[in-house]
Amino acid sequence: MRLLEFTSGNSLVLTKDFIGDDKIPPYAILSHTWEDGQEVDFTDVRGGTGQDKTGYNKILFCKQQAERDGLQYFWIDTCCIDKSNHVELQDAINSMFRWYQNAEKCYVYLSDVLIAKRKASDEFSECTWETAFRGSKWFTRGWTLQELLAPRSVGFFSREGKLLGNKTTLERQIHEITGINHLALRGTPLYEFSVETRLSWAKGRKTTRKEDRAYSLLGIFGIYMSLIYGEGEDNAFKRLQKKINRSTGAPEQQTLAQKEREDQQCIQHLRLTDPRDDKKRIEETKGGILENSYRWVLENSDFQRWRDEQESRLLWIKGDPGKGKTMLLCGIINELKKSMTKANLMSYFFCQATDSHINNATAVLRGLIYLLVDQQPSLISHVRKKHDHAGKSLFEDANVWVALSEIFINILQDPSLNSVNLIIDALDECIVDLPKLLDFVIRTSSISSHVKWIVSSRNCPNIEECLERERHKVRLSLELNTASVSAAVRFYIRHRVTQLAQEKNYSHEIQNAVLAYLSLNANDTFLWVALVCQNLKKISRWKVLAKLKVFPPGLNYLYKRMMQYISTSDDAALCKRILASIAVVYRPITLEELTALVEELKDMANDLESLREIIGLCGSFLTIRNSIIYFVHQSAQDFLLTEEFNTIFPSGKEEVHYVLFSRSLLAISKTLRRDIYSLHALRYPIEQVTHPTPDPLAVSRYSCIYWIDHLYDCNPRSSVNHRVDLQDGGAVDIFLRERYLYWLEALSLCRSMSKGVVSMAKLEAVTDMIANASLFDKLVRDARRFIMYHKWAIENSPLQAYASALVFSPTYSFIRRLFKKEDPKWISNKPDIGERWGTCLQTLEGHSHIVGSVAFSHDSTRLASASHDRVVRVWDASSGECIYTLEGHSDSVSSVAFSRNSTRLASASHDCTVRVWDASRGECVHTLEHLVWLPPEYRPLCSAVSGNTIGIGTGSGRVWIFRVQLDTP
């Protein structure tokens, strides 16, 4: 180790190289970030040069500060290490943590932090440098982590050399910026922190050379390791991990690089959507966010109560459609971000009723967790605990809500977490499991005063009823803040009219007329203004004044005007058919999928521009994002399904469903074929399947999944024409005989086999309604047995529809005989399965040990199974899908039973407890531990319960009757 000093002649020189037992004099040490080409290096010091480099100022600063602290010597990495000597460089890097640790003083020189001079009139008292301090590059570099943690005394200095504070006085800010534990900053030995925790401190830090990301951690883990520049980051981390494992006694099988890859895979599986992208899309769709349209809420007393009071943990923003709730939340998110520290987290989600990916409670939790993990990567450990066992299926199977709820609560209880703000927009557009989501929000808002929620919705009684249970909530009603909302809308109108005037080259007269009309009729509704401006864009400038008043005030009146415009256009019939189709489909469809459902568009799948133009004719009811068609707002769909029902459904909604069924069946009959994705290998796993380009299922994917649903909802019993399809030689009969196996393959490729099982049950139910007692009926029953029996094999490997499914079906199975040509010819001796389907409808796989008890719910929709693997599984009796996996018993589970109303499920275990579960949520509500041990002569052969009276019939011939009194929890 060499040190620096200035001679009496004010020349910078190096001391001798202290080695071995040489006594090193007290010294100061510098921590800084490098500027390319401007640092004074070892060669400069030896040659007496470098004074013209900007880095020389740091040397002078270090010298002067060391003198103030009574120190003659100081050390600076750029000057004191001969980097041309590989041995010396290696020794220096391995010793650097110790060198910083042994320094009397460490000076952190922040070249990007300045102390601005104040004017005498300046009344503000906050630190002018703190914002720059929090954003300093020094906190992002890999090497500075050990330079922060190793020394006893660390002082932070501005570019002017002014002391900002030290590691103690700035502890709160440093913790918030870096996320490093307070105890670590106070000098607690680093070995007392887990490997994972120490690695999390380095997450996101950067080094110039890739390998240095690993090498800069040597001191943090007390490791000595040779340097091999050129080996790459992964190899450097692998070697570091082996060293760590040896020093901690941990197994060597998992490297740091491997852990990072597995973390990344877990995050990829978790991600359903990135709410940040959704927010950006929403803002762009609405023409950008305007500060003056939301800033009023920051001064609102209800918002300030939520923000400032610890006990106010839930803010509910409610208002009528089109009042700007979504953009208000976008603005709140932006403002909260500005005041957040690195240690504080914020996560948000935007629900949308017309998009099945983001209109359900499960999607909300996935989105919120995804953003939290992205901001604080160490939180992925809570997800990994379950993901390591289940893989991607964790986020896809029927247990996903239970699993995600548990993960989310564990994250919120993580001791490393500071304050967390959680935001959900448009609760009323959460179509699936909204009660579960509301219950979850209420429960988690009471976990900690550090967890705060903001939710928004329309004025919905069911939401209000649920949120009334939360004692710590604040309600912000837009209808009660009309003055603020009106001012925001007026600003929005001025902005949009200015844009219009520039784009359409309006005269001042036209611009003022449009401004006046919108201001007079907006009724504090952003959406109304946006829709009118969208329509004005399509009107020639010279017609604007004449046409302006055809846009009536009020959303519903405007929607009526839009329908009148459509009805008088040349394309009225086509537009109404498109609107009717979009109104009844079960999820938003793509432009390509629309061409399969509307006959006039059947040849336009490759002409997306024309399709966009046609959607534009639909009176601004629809919008397109990423080639997917949505309603411009939920209120637009509601209007069509109520006010204009007879206009777009002149023959009733059932007729539209029938058209969509017929078009869907035609599309998949033409499209589906064996090995449509050219996988070739029968064993090809579904996890490795990706959509080819072009995708042969792009046009028919929706049709493939939902054709039976439209058949079911068209009520075929009500029309003789509809029944024709459900008889021998009908359209469905022909499809099953010619395309059924190809359809099963396609369902697997669409990840919708469970949906297919439910669909076949619906088809059988529809067939039973017609009551033909024909060959077609038998074919449908056989096809249903086929998909139920072979679901698992085809779901995991699509081409097993032509191998395992055919080989292991009965000889007289209709499907096996119809698709004999698809039989695997390379199997000469096929197993003897029998002639007909057995009594077994389905085999439910999932338990890892003996199943000792099963019970159907009294409505026969669910089946519970108890196993020696210590878990209870609840299955959907129609699809065979596992809905919940109930974990909690510490020994094998011997018995299960549903309550009479099927709302509760009881499980008895050899751990001497009975657990009572909420059958709708899969959560344990009671654990009963005070159980009665029965002597052999009283052990039941049968039993009966009436109220609180239990009768037990025993093997000795006795009947034992007793009463119990249970305390209500």
Using the 3D structure, point to which of 527, 553, 579 is the last residue of a domain. 553
CA distance 431 to 359: 5
Q: What is the pLDDT of residues 267-318, one digit of tens each?
A: 999 998 999 999 988 888 777 788 888 889 999 999 999 988 888 889 999 9
Per-residue pLDDT, averaged over 911-936, amounts to: 75
Hey, is 867 helix, strand or coil?
Answer: strand
CB atoms within 10 A of CB 131: 11
pLDDT category at 553 given cuts 50, 70, 90 is confident
Whether residues 700 and 834 share a domain: the answer is yes
Q: Which of 56-65, 439-448, 907-916 has the highest mean pLDDT?
A: 56-65
Does residue 563 lie in a domain region?
no
pLDDT category at 967 given cuts 50, 70, 90 is low
Report whether pLDDT(968) > 50: no
Per-residue pLDDT, averaged over 426-442, amounts to: 92
Per-residue pLDDT, averaged over 830-834, amounts to: 78
Does residue 597 lie in a domain region?
no
Please, are residues 762 and 700 in contact by the beta-carbon 8 Å criterion? no
List alpha helices for 9-142, DSSP H: 42-47, 56-68, 77-80, 86-102, 130-134
Q: What is the pLDDT of residues 473-521, one digit of tens each?
A: 899 999 888 889 999 999 999 988 998 999 999 999 999 999 999 998 8
Q: What is the pLDDT of residues 150-166, one digit of tens each?
A: 999 999 999 999 999 99
Per-residue pLDDT, averaged over 516-539, amounts to: 88
* pLDDT on residue 356: 77
Whether residues 184 and 50 share a domain: the answer is yes
* pLDDT on residue 29: 96
Range of the domain at 772: 651-840
Q: What is the CATH number of the domain that holds 469?
A: 3.40.50.300
pLDDT category at 557 given cuts 50, 70, 90 is confident
Query: What residues contact residue 69 under an 8 Å CB cut-off, 6+ apart?
Result: 28, 104, 105
Report whether pLDDT(258) > 90: no
Does residue 195 lie in a domain region?
no
Q: What is the pLDDT of residues 737-756, one digit of tens each?
A: 999 999 999 999 999 998 99
CA distance 945 to 963: 10
CB atoms within 10 A of CB 743: 21
Whether residues 934 and 826 share a domain: the answer is no
Per-residue pLDDT, averaged over 403-421, amounts to: 88
Whether residues 689 and 744 share a domain: the answer is yes
CA-CA-CA-CA dihedral for 707, 709, 714, 720, to nearest 10: 60
Whether residues 832 and 859 share a domain: the answer is no
Whether residues 956 and 826 share a domain: the answer is no
Higher pLDDT, 96 or 128: 96
Element (H, E) at 231: none
Does residue 626 lie in a domain region?
no
Distance of CA 596 to the CA centre of its chain: 31
DSSP secondary structure, 238-278, as one string: HHHHHHHHHHHT--SS--HHHHHHHHHHHHHHH-S--HHHH
CA distance 111 to 35: 10
pLDDT category at 340 given cuts 50, 70, 90 is confident
pLDDT category at 815 given cuts 50, 70, 90 is very high
CA distance 587 to 632: 15
Q: What is the CATH number of the domain that holds 911?
A: 2.130.10.10
Does residue 643 lie in a domain region?
no
* pLDDT on residue 392: 80
Q: What is the pLDDT of residues 780-805, one digit of tens each?
A: 999 999 999 899 899 999 999 999 99
Does residue 830 lie in a domain region?
yes
Does residue 261 lie in a domain region?
no
3-state class percentages of the chain: helix first, strand second, coil last, to nearest 5: 50, 15, 40
Please state which of the ranges 318-322, 391-395, 837-841 shows the lowest mean pLDDT: 837-841
Please, are residues 403 and 921 in contact by the beta-carbon 8 Å criterion? no
CA distance 97 to 94: 7
Q: What is the pLDDT of residues 852-891, one digit of tens each?
A: 889 898 877 888 999 988 889 888 777 677 777 888 888 8
List alpha helices for 413-554, DSSP H: 434-444, 461-467, 482-504, 508-521, 526-536, 544-547
For tokens 């967890």, what's the residue?
451
What's the N-to-C CA distance of the chain in angstroms?
70
Please state which of the ranges 75-89, 696-710, 934-948 shows the lowest mean pLDDT: 934-948
CA distance 622 to 641: 14
What's the number of CA atoms in the CB half-sphere (13 Å) around residue 881?
16
Using the 3D structure, point to which of 153, 188, 223 is the last residue of a domain. 188
Whether residues 543 and 420 share a domain: the answer is no
Sort 527 into a burial class: Cβ within 10 Å, 0-12 / 13-18 / 19+. Answer: buried
Whether residues 832 and 754 share a domain: the answer is yes
* pLDDT on residue 772: 66
How large a percentage of the chain has pLDDT more than 90?
47
Q: What is the pLDDT of residues 46-71, one digit of tens each?
A: 999 999 999 999 999 999 999 999 99
Does residue 251 lie in a domain region?
no
Closest CA to 426 of 328, 504, 561, 299: 328
Burial 747-783 (b: 16+ CB within 10 A, else e): bbbbebbbbbbbbbbbbbebbeebeeebebbebbbbb
Whether residues 789 and 887 share a domain: the answer is no
CA distance 808 to 812: 12
- The total number of structural domains in the chain stands at 5
pLDDT category at 119 given cuts 50, 70, 90 is very low
Q: Which of 494-503, 893-902, 914-923 has the highest mean pLDDT?
A: 494-503
61-65 long-range contacts (CB < 8 A, ≥24 apart) are 61/107, 61/109, 61/157, 61/161, 62/4, 62/28, 62/30, 62/107, 62/109, 63/4, 63/6, 64/161, 65/28, 65/105, 65/107, 65/155, 65/157, 65/161
pLDDT category at 339 given cuts 50, 70, 90 is confident
DSSP secondary structure, 543-603, as one string: GHHHHGGGS-SSHHHHHHHHHHHHHTSTTHHHHHHHHHHHHH-SS--BHHHHHHHSGGGTT
CA distance 566 to 580: 13
Whether residues 143 and 89 share a domain: the answer is yes
pTM, 2 dp: 0.57
- Mean pLDDT over each residue of the chain, to the nearest integer: 87
* pLDDT on residue 122: 43
* pLDDT on residue 584: 94
Using the 3D structure, point to which of 553, 572, 589 is the last residue of a domain. 553
Report whether pLDDT(935) > 70: no
CA-only gyration radius of the chain, Å = 35
Length of the chain: 969
CA distance 393 to 388: 11
Whether residues 132 and 86 share a domain: the answer is yes
Please, are residues 864 and 872 in contact by the beta-carbon 8 Å criterion? yes
How large a percentage of the chain has pLDDT more than 70?
93
Whether residues 307 and 291 share a domain: the answer is yes
CA distance 76 to 62: 9
